[in-house]
Amino acid sequence: MFFKWTFVFILLCLNSLVADQPWCHSGCEASPSFWSSLPDSQCGGVRQSPININPNHLTFDPGLQNLTFRNIDDPNIIKYLSNNGHTVSCVLEYGIVEVIGGGLSHAYTADSIHFHWGGNIWHPGSEHTVESVRYPMEVHLVALKEGWTMEQAKTDPEGIAVFAFFIDVSYSSMYVEAWHTLTSYLLNLTMKGSSVYIVQPLSISDLLGSVDLTKYYRYHGSLTTPACEEVVVWTVFKETNKIRRKLVERFPLTLKYRNTYRMVQKLNGRPVYTSQRVLVASEGHAGSDYAFSRGSLVSILIALSSMLILV
Ligand SMILES: *[C@@H]1O[C@H](CO)[C@@H](O)[C@H](O)[C@H]1NC(C)=O
Ligand SMILES: *[C@@H]1O[C@H](CO)[C@@H](O)[C@H](O)[C@H]1NC(C)=O
């Protein structure tokens, strides 16, 4: 009997160890370079996220039509905010915001929103980079295949759709009430596991501002935190939403988590699609123009120098 209970006790301990792996972005044993050795981890896989988006290697996909976010203006959509030990998560009323179109093969239901940010000695913290440029912050709207639970969604290669929005800063940004409201609650979230209800109306579109929802990049990747499940259809919006630097800095200053992003991962031959023909055409064109003019400059110089030598 004693042995049996000891055994059960050990099993329970092992189980809680596995369930609550203390991974982190920095400052603990299981920092990103060790994520792939965590139990059931896919972090060492071949379709990982985030990635660097290279504007010269995009494939135009005419199927990437306009996305529709239903009820994105609902002012009571955020159930509560919580500090989950890694970031701030906005838990949404489930089943209200639905995303369709945009070349997605299913409807997806928004589940939560969370943020990735940098350090408090100014250091940007977006996860995706564009031309190797890291933006100050990145907002992730996480949506599950309609009617599925998170557990079910994690078993399907397209079970989760994440919509990523870059946040840029400026000193001159207009007063964005939604971000003032959101960040005013960070002081109530300094403890891991704490949560707070929002009293003021706050919709997802208030947080996203006027980002053009027709301009985006699409690729297949993973969750960016352990176990890095390779189940995500990514949509990364091209335009940024600008908010005041002071508000962006409140995240690392108040929450003490810093640089909450994972380094970019190898593409391993994955295509990255774009919804905009004009982007690819004009960038490609500009690139070759530049090469041409540089080339002609060199030939003019060679011609000039040979003339000088002849003279
Ligand atoms: C997509 O959205 C843009 C801008 O809102 C609009 O001009 C265009 O007509 C839309 N296209 C379709 C196919 O709905
Ligand atoms: C948030 O924290 C402040 C200061 O500690 C407190 O006055 C306020 O009541 C809290 N708000 C909520 C909604 O818990």
Q: How remote is the CA of residue 28 from the centroid of ligand 2, in Å?
A: 30
- Closest protein CA for atom 5 of ligand 1: 214
Residue 285: active-site member: no
Range 26-275 has CATH code 3.10.200.10 = yes
Q: Please report the atom of ligand 2 found closest to the CA of residue 185.
A: 1
Angle at 234 between CA 106 and CA 142, to 5 degrees: 75
Q: Which residue has the tokens 């009997």?
A: 1
DSSP readout, 23-51?
Answer: B-SSSSSB-GGGGGGSTT--TTSSS-S--
In the prediction, which pLDDT does 20 show?
53
Q: Please report the atom of ligand 1 found closest to the CA of residue 65.
A: 13
**3-state class of 161 per DSSP?**
strand
The answer to whether the bond into 136 is cis (omega within 30° of 0) is no
Single out the residue of 169, 170, 219, 214 nearest to residue 52, CA to CA: 219
In the prediction, which pLDDT does 283 show?
44
Query: Is ligand 1 within 6 A of the CB of residue 68?
Result: no
Q: Quick one: which ligand is closest to 254's CA? A: 2
Q: Quick one: which ligand is closest to 198's CA? A: 2
Q: Which residues line ligand 2 (CB under 6 A)?
A: 187-188, 196
Residue 184, H or E segment = helix 177-184
In the prediction, which pLDDT does 236 show?
98
Single out the residue of 92, 96, 120, 126 nearest to residue 108, CA to CA: 96
The per-residue pLDDT string of the chain (311 residues; one tens digit each, 9 = 90 and over) reads 444 444 444 433 333 334 455 899 988 889 999 999 999 999 999 999 999 999 999 999 999 999 999 999 999 999 999 999 999 999 999 899 999 999 999 999 999 999 999 997 679 999 999 999 999 999 999 999 999 999 999 999 999 999 999 999 987 767 789 999 999 999 999 999 999 999 999 999 999 999 999 999 999 999 999 999 999 999 999 999 999 999 999 999 999 899 999 999 999 999 999 998 754 444 443 333 333 333 344 444 444 454 444 44
Contacts (Cβ under 8 Å, ≥6 apart) of 291? none
Q: How remote is the CA of residue 236 from the centroid of ligand 1, in Å?
A: 18
